[in-house]
Structure 1
């Protein structure tokens, strides 16, 4: 199509190579490259109006950053999550670390992380939320408990931004311990399916599942390894009492059973190194039954 046909469409039409480049840019998406150009229309075309920058097609959505969050949104988040944090704190107080509390602790941890993220992102936003925290009973109770935990450990009030952040981190660590205990409790229940009613390991069942490459067994083995490591860490920090009054007998029982199961699994799977590692662990915890004094 001759370039002269477009001269009347623009008041300030460019000339030469510039004119050709601009017309190509404007219409390169309107006419496919492989299609032959149609003959010029007989009637004059309606002038093309240039849209101002930013008008028309919307820009692609960018990923939201922390700068997009306002205190009002933070207020909605903390008031929504605060009841879940309270439930986790209640479970800690009642020493309730049964498998049923696993989801409660998981949600309470997410809630405390909202408080810590607000402080890490912009401490001023936290102080802007003081009115919300003071008027919401759950938020106020969470703040009070966090500050009390900080004072009990450091023997001073939490006043600076760093101290307030540390207070919520202490609360988060407490809830994390509760979550880990609930993890162990959940595995204590599920591991029973690999044991006989007499209390012995069901070796025949496990061997058959190994030969069949059973996916459920593989998933359980991965989970038991993770939870066994969690149980060992709880033993190291000295806070491994799951049921109040039993002085950690359940976690010892889990260590003995899980290590025995893992030892036999790797024996059946032909992994001698892993089998020896868990067999030694099993022998140690079976001979030296550790309880909390």
Structure 2
């Protein structure tokens, strides 16, 4: 009996020490409400914002994923991706994989094991949404891909990438503008859960060909890339432009542009104000210098 109790205590001690060791690693397994910006149990009210607006990630903390309207940040709502980390003046997805017993690892293993590598990489489907509505505006941020997560998921494909979200009303109705892992610059619309591509500049980053297995991302790694989208109502529709700054040089290049006339591409255009935000797919990413500026004021 004593041997059994002793063996049980040794096993328990090993598990505790393993938990402490994992928790001490960068972002591994530390995934509970104590990591939030707001340590209270309630949600934060959205902050009133004015143009020009800059979010510099100067407040260190971790914003947990939450249901709509329950975010602990007055500026951001994390719709998907488990955690948004703010540290050292940079925003980040989770970097690396979660600890086996992280609550987020367990939750994602149950809810979406296919896209998150059995819950270890919830950052594969990262969706960060602002909490104030904007109509005609430019939105920009700098992104740096620190690691690709080349999952077995069938949803890891050439359409994945770094994207700015505009006129967001919900996860099924919004505009996207950004760069894809196949090196293309793209503007698209999601209407009623269906994607419609307006414009696409192929091989914007590289003349090489994308291949899911042998060449799975043509987005330069560990390099700051600026994305700027401009959206405004015009001639009864919506004009959208995407600019890119390769290498954080301050030089912006028009990558592609589109016009939603409300007749094609899924029908009615999104003419009303909506939320802005950031989407990344199947990669670990850092963010910097997020800006919103109203157009025409």
Larger proportion of strand? 2
TM-score normalised by structure 2 residue count:
0.29
- The structure whose Rg is larger is 1
- RCO comparison, higher one (Cα < 8 Å, 6+): 2
